[in-house]
Each structure stands twice: as C-alpha cells, then as structure tokens.
Amino acid sequence: MTCDLHIHSNYSDGTWSVENIVDYAIKQKLTHIAISDHDTISGIKPALNYAKDKIEIIPAVEINSLYSFDSINHDLHILGYFIDINNKNLLKQLEFHRQARYRQSKKILENIASISSNLKIDIDTITDLSIGQSIGTAHLTKAILKLLPGKSLESVYAEFINSKSKYYVIRDILPTLEVIDTINKANGIAVLAHPMYLGHNLRKSLPIFKKYGLSGIEVFHPNHSNNLCKYYFDMAKEFNLLATGGSDCHGPYNEFEPSLGKISINMANLNRLKNLI
C-alpha cells in the first residue's frame, strides 16, 4: 500500500483533471492520494465522487504563506491534510489567497502590456486556464509562451514572471503561523512542504512552527537529493515531527512526464498521520 501525498490538479496549476489523476494513480497501484491544490479545495469533492472506493482520496490543500526570519522573507508552502472542507474560516482564507492571486496576475499582465504592446493578454484568458480559479505564475507563463512560441518555458518565466523581473508585483499573502493555525482549526494536520525553501533557517524555525501546530515536514520530495531527504528525516525525528512525502505532480506538460507516484510513503507512515486526526 503506497500513498502520494502531494498532487496538483487543474483546479490550480496542474494539467490533469482529478479524474485523470485518479485513473493514473490506480494504474500506478497507489492506494491513497492527496489532492493538494494551491489555495483551493474545489477538486476534492469531484475526486471523492469519481474515486468512490477504488482509491482513497485524502482531502488536502497547499497554502502559500509569508515567513520573515532575520529580515528575509520566505514564501513557505504549508500542506493541510484531512482538513474539514466545509470549515468556514479555512474557506474564507483560501478565498483571500485566490483573490490575491487574481490581483497579482492582473497587475503583472498590465505591466507586461504597458512595456511590450505585442503582449496583451486578457485576465479572463488566464482564469479560463484554471477551473478552480486559483490562478498563478504557471498559468501566466504558459499564456505568454503561447505568444512567444520560439522561447522556452524557463526563459519566459525568467523574463516575465520571476520575482526579479521588471514586470513582477508582490502578492498579498498571510503569515505562516496564521496559515498553520487555520489548518489546525479546520481539524487538519499542518505539514511544511519542500522545506528547502527555508534554507538554513529551518532548524531555528521549527520550534516556532511546532508551537503553532505544525505536525510534520515533507521529507520526500522530487527536489530533494538523497542526502537532503536524510537530513530532513533526521530533523523530523529530532523535533518529533512526522516525515511525509509526495511527488508534487503537476501532470504532464509538453515533454515533461507526470511524476505521480514516483515519490510516495508507506502505510505505516500514513497511519502515523491518521493517528493525529
């Protein structure tokens, strides 16, 4: 029995529908999957309805958050597992994040159009790309790439979308501790996704996060080398936190194969998570 605890659908910036995800996960012989879209839980009910008893769907979400440490701002992603998808406070917070995504995307498009008049993209084109309306930089990059087919995805991202780009504007975002607290109050289990975003500040920050209700760190992630996985695994042990993992699959895109199921955790690990519910 294996579980992939980090998957994005086209309700945020994934390319696959939840039905595609369920079908593929069954083919990969997974027994549990967490649909963990950015700032939206819209995909969970359709996934539950489609999966029925063929595979277990874990209700989840990945929420962006702002964490300042030593005068450095970090954009940390917090995963929430087994959340109550009807919790009003959580739904309100997710709506705040989606509106912030919309405002940021609209402003970036305006900045691009004001400098490069051949690159006028309507915000509705972007929202059409995400059925859950949790739009973001991936959608913007793909829309610009369509107008500049000679360029690569990476170069478009670097030129137009990256935070160092002249077109970039900051997104309104809530503090990490508030996000962790909201997940807990929605009966969820809060886990720090891909902790390398926090670099060397992780060790000093974990006790603070734990105090606010963090239960685990994502040890196994495609961007972590074996050494890094071991480092995070030991750190999870040291701080008495759960070690989770997932593929962070965003579906297939051009030459990129879907990574779903490539990183998974076993049932014993999942049970440790379930015991916290």
Binding residue (CB under 5 A) for Zn ion from 34, 78, 177, 193? 193
Residue 126: CB minimum distance to Zn ion, A: 19
Round to whole Å and give the CA distance between 49 and 7.
17
77/97 with CB nearer Zn ion: 77
Q: Considering only the stretches 85-93, 149-157, 169-177, 187-195, report the one whose residues sit in contact with Zn ion under the rule CB under 5 A.
A: 187-195
Q: Cα-Cα-Cα-Cα dihedral of 18, 185, 172, 41, to 10°?
A: 10
Q: Considering only the stretches 53-61, 155-163, 199-207, 240-248, report the one whose residues sit in contact with Zn ion under the rule CB under 5 A.
A: 240-248
Residue 200: CB minimum distance to Zn ion, A: 19
Size of interface with Zn ion, in residues (CB under 5 A): 4
Asked if residue 37 binds Zn ion (CB under 5 A), the reply is: no
Residue 198: CB minimum distance to Zn ion, A: 12
14/121 with CB nearer Zn ion: 14
Residue 249: CB minimum distance to Zn ion, A: 9
Token pair listed for 265: 């955790």
112/217 with CB nearer Zn ion: 217
123/202 with CB nearer Zn ion: 202
121/132 with CB nearer Zn ion: 132
Residue 131: CB minimum distance to Zn ion, A: 18
Residue 141 CB coordination number (10 Å): 19
Residue 194: CB minimum distance to Zn ion, A: 6
Binding to Zn ion in span 64-93, by CB under 5 A = 77
Contact 145, 153 (CB under 8 A): yes
Binding to Zn ion in span 39-58, by CB under 5 A = none
Residue 57: CB minimum distance to Zn ion, A: 17
13/241 with CB nearer Zn ion: 13
4/248 with CB nearer Zn ion: 248
Binding residue (CB under 5 A) for Zn ion from 17, 35, 248, 251? 248
Residue 45: CB minimum distance to Zn ion, A: 20
Residue 271 CB coordination number (10 Å): 10
Write out the DSSP string of the chain. Answer: -EEEEEE--TTTT-SS-HHHHHHHHHHTT-SEEEE--BT--TTHHHHHHHHTTSSEEEEEEEEEEEEEETTEEEEEEEEEES--TT-HHHHHHHHHHHHHHHHHHHHHHHHHHHH-TT----HHHHHHT-TT----HHHHHHHHHHH-TTS-HHHHIIIIISTTSTT--PPP--BHHHHHHHHHHTT-EEEESSGGGGGGGHHHHHHHHHHTTEEEEEEE-TTS-HHHHHHHHHHHHHTT-EEEE---B---BTTBPP-TTSS-EEHHHHHHHHTT-
Interacting residues toward Zn ion by CB under 5 A: 62, 77, 193, 248
